[in-house]
Amino acid sequence: MMLINLQDRLKKNWFLVSIVVVILLARYEPWIGAKDGPLMPEITVKYLAVFIIFFNSGLSIKTEEFSRAFYQLETHAFIQLFTLCFIPLFVKFLIPFLTKLGILEQLLTGFQVVACMPPPVSSAVILTKAAEGNEAVAIFNSAFGSFLGIFVTPMLLLQLVGTSSSVPLSKIFNQLFLTVVLPIILGNSIRRNFREVLDKQKIPYSLIGNLVLLLIIFTTFCDTFSSSNFEMDRISLAQIAFIVLSFQLFVLSLSFYLSTHPNLGKRLGFQAADTVAIIFCSTHKSLTLGIPMLKIIFSQDPNLPLYSIPLLVYHPTQILLGGALVPTVKKWMVREQRKNGGSHDSEPVSELPDV
């Protein structure tokens, strides 16, 4: 019985397990995915894999869902300002204090990188749906935040983190356009014209995106482990994991407090179901956009894998922590709705890309 439960857990969390597996494989067989290796990551990953991820996102994002939640402007503004303004600036303020703990500078840089990321397209929606919150708001803000992140995130990274002076800004934004913006536009154009055909095909968008993302993670670490200069401080890793968990608990609590405060959330008209969407959408960060973005902006930086570690820690933490909070959040929302004599009926949501 215990073995069956373990198998079910591994199956349910296969992507998280796969991240660990590909990093271990990269550690012991780095030649496979290193630069000039058989996988040719300088071509297959730098251009093709990143293009596929965002083309896949463009195909699967249902822009028709936007109309249901478009007019809740105060809710959207709160979520986007919290995730793309408050969190990056707060982490920038926090890092000088964290530096005193002796954590590797590159890991703290990676923590700032996490803060600059937009919300993911699926995990926030899935958790909002599980808690029976305002799913339409979650869909709108996750998708809109991802589009916004294409332009805002690179500017935040360049301003708050900086990048190698050997990489011209024009080259960065040209590559972002070719591998991120263009494939999303192409994918979404195809979706608008062939929506019924695509819906009938039941394309596993999430699976495709996750597999390509694993390839990017694998080759990133292969390139690093193939260098004899790479060292990883385990104490710093434990510290950054603790910081990520503590930070998520803080921003979840803060977003809940602000969205339910009489002088802010209540005055803006937020309902209990809106708060559920707010706490997940405003605090979650996108791994799917984050890893390719790092590959583009820090392509010449040998510390790239260290920059990506906090993002790889943040991703499973937000899913596991969010999943653990769902029953509590759901009970709170039901209690609030009964108190106010209202209710919210969630609409079903199909599988979405991103993790």
3-state secondary structure of 166: coil
To the question of pTM greater than 0.85 for the whole model, the response is no
DSSP state letters, 80-96: HHIIIIIHHHHHHHHHH
Question: Could you report the per-residue pLDDT of 262-273, keeping only the tens digit for each?
Answer: 999 888 889 999
Alpha helices, DSSP H, located in the chain: 2-12, 14-28, 41-43, 50-60, 66-69, 73-81, 87-99, 105-115, 123-130, 135-160, 169-176, 182-193, 195-201, 205-225, 234-260, 272-281, 287-297, 304-340
Pairwise CA distance, residues 201 & 178, whole Å: 27
∠ CA 346-253-153, nearest 5°, is: 80
Pairwise CA distance, residues 117 & 281, whole Å: 12
Burial 61-83 (b: 16+ CB within 10 A, else e): beeebeeebeebeebbebbbebb
User: In tens digits, what is the pLDDT along the chain, a chain of 355 residues?
Assistant: 556 666 776 676 677 788 788 888 988 888 888 877 888 887 787 778 878 877 877 777 666 655 656 678 899 999 999 999 999 999 999 999 998 888 888 899 999 999 999 887 667 877 888 888 887 788 788 778 877 887 888 888 888 886 544 445 566 667 667 776 788 788 888 888 888 888 788 888 778 877 887 887 788 778 767 765 556 667 878 888 899 999 999 999 999 999 999 999 888 889 999 999 999 999 999 877 787 778 777 877 778 888 888 988 888 788 778 878 888 898 999 898 888 765 544 444 444 444 4
Question: Could you report the per-residue pLDDT of 57-115, keeping only the tens digit for each?
Answer: 777 766 665 565 667 889 999 999 999 999 999 999 999 999 888 888 889 999 999 99
Residue ranges and CATH numbers for the domains of the chain are 11-339 (1.20.1530.20)
Pairwise CA distance, residues 30 & 57, whole Å: 29
Copy the structure tokens of residue 150.
């294409």
Q: Are 274 and 335 in contact (CB under 8 A)?
A: no
C-alpha of 346 from chain center: 23
3-state secondary structure of 22: helix
Q: Are 291 and 119 in contact (CB under 8 A)?
A: no
